[in-house]
Amino acid sequence: MWVSTYLIDDGDEDEDPFRTCYLYDVHYFNKTFDYNKVRLDLPPEFAIVDISKNASMHIVSEHFIQTCNGLVTIVGMNADVIYLLNPASTQMRKLPRCNNRSFDILWLGFGFDPLSNDYNILKVVFAYLSPEDWAPENLVLEADLYSANNDCWKKVEVPQPLRGVRPAHYSKCVHAKTGMLYMEGNDEILSFNLHSEVFEVYPIHKDETLLKISNVFDFKGSLGMMFKDDVDEGSVVSLWTLDDNVSGNVYWTKKFNFEIGFNIDWIHLYLGDGQFVALNHELGVIFYDYIKKETKKFPLLTSFPGEIISIVKYTESLVSLGGFKPLNLSGG
């Protein structure tokens, strides 16, 4: 598991501040947590806003790091500057800028298309129908797709019925199935097929007795979300997945309940091997193994400098892309 944090350095009065990113490779072995730390001094393009002082930027900060097959995306403000890197081989590539009419980045997805043998980045933004009319109701979705093979961006058509979809608060884009990206809206899930380049929409599981306590995430190759039956202590936490049958019908399936003796406020992601990364406001970040019914506390929120902005599942690999250049990292 990787955790990324920002450490803000205000620099000299006459100079722009810069950001230092710390990446922590967290692992659990022999009943003990440990981690390797890597420091990455980000380029000047990232020194745009101090997230710790501007709460409105948190939705942007959630897009900071994503992983796929050992590759990592590092993203600047509004995804204008994107770096694709492999920390294991210490190589990186700066992506060309994506020119669009965006005023607000909504989703940034990173995934692999096995049919084209290509790594893709999907950028979905809000844009105005007309530059002369800035009314909020005229905001629509637009999308651009980056191909690592071609090292360029291209426009992707968002169907007219989907252009009015609005993102959920702190919504993320996840690579839950091979070749597929999923984005969470207020009332629906958008999917995007990296090979056919087609958007589709599915309803979010709705039950007035259930409270959503996660964004969408990958659970064993299916799209998962976590819910609990109320907001009180001792409420039941359950996992639901978005599945389809041979006829192509899509539906939500309840998988199981957590058997845990304290409140869970949020689920970050599923790591695999039965382990979820969760948050309790009093205990901090915890690991819960739903198979062994074991809970492990890791003092994540107080151990690292700066502000935690991403928690992602990371698998080391030596994948290399054309145009990669050496990356200078320091630390473990």
Residues whose CB falls within 8 Å of the CB of residue 16, separated by 6 or more in sequence, listed in order: 44, 47
Neighbours of 22 (CB within 10 A): 18
pLDDT band at 190 (very low <50, low <70, confident <90, very high): very high
Q: Are residues 144 and 226 in the same domain?
A: no
Q: Are residues 238 and 177 in the same domain?
A: no
Q: Are residues 198 and 287 in the same domain?
A: no
pLDDT band at 308 (very low <50, low <70, confident <90, very high): low
| Distance, CA of 329 to CA of 332 (rounded, Å) | 9
The pLDDT value recorded for residue 116 is: 95
| Distance, CA of 300 to CA of 31 (rounded, Å) | 16
Helix (H, G, I), strand (E, B) or coil at 302: helix
Q: Are residues 106 and 78 in the same domain?
A: no
Choose the final residue of a domain: 171, 186, 204: 204
Report pLDDT digits (tens) over 197-210: 999 998 887 777 78
Choose the final residue of a domain: 151, 182, 204: 204
Rounded to the nearest integer, the mean pLDDT of the chain is 77
Q: Are residues 215 and 247 in the same domain?
A: yes
pLDDT band at 152 (very low <50, low <70, confident <90, very high): very high
Report pLDDT digits (tens) over 251-304: 899 999 998 878 888 998 898 889 898 888 887 788 888 998 988 876 554 444
Half-sphere exposure in the Cβ direction for 108 (13 Å, CA): 25
Number of domains in the chain: 3
Q: Are residues 117 and 129 in the same domain?
A: yes
Q: Are residues 75 and 146 in the same domain?
A: no
Residues of the domain holding 230: 209-298
Q: Are residues 196 and 103 in the same domain?
A: yes
Q: Are residues 73 and 138 in the same domain?
A: no
| Distance, CA of 223 to CA of 176 (rounded, Å) | 6
Q: Are residues 76 and 46 in the same domain?
A: yes
Q: Are residues 293 and 318 in the same domain?
A: no
Element (H, E) at 227: strand 222-228
Choose the final residue of a domain: 204, 224, 259: 204
User: Of 59-63, 75-79, 145-149, 170-174, which gets the smallest average pLDDT?
Assistant: 59-63
Q: Are residues 241 and 282 in the same domain?
A: yes
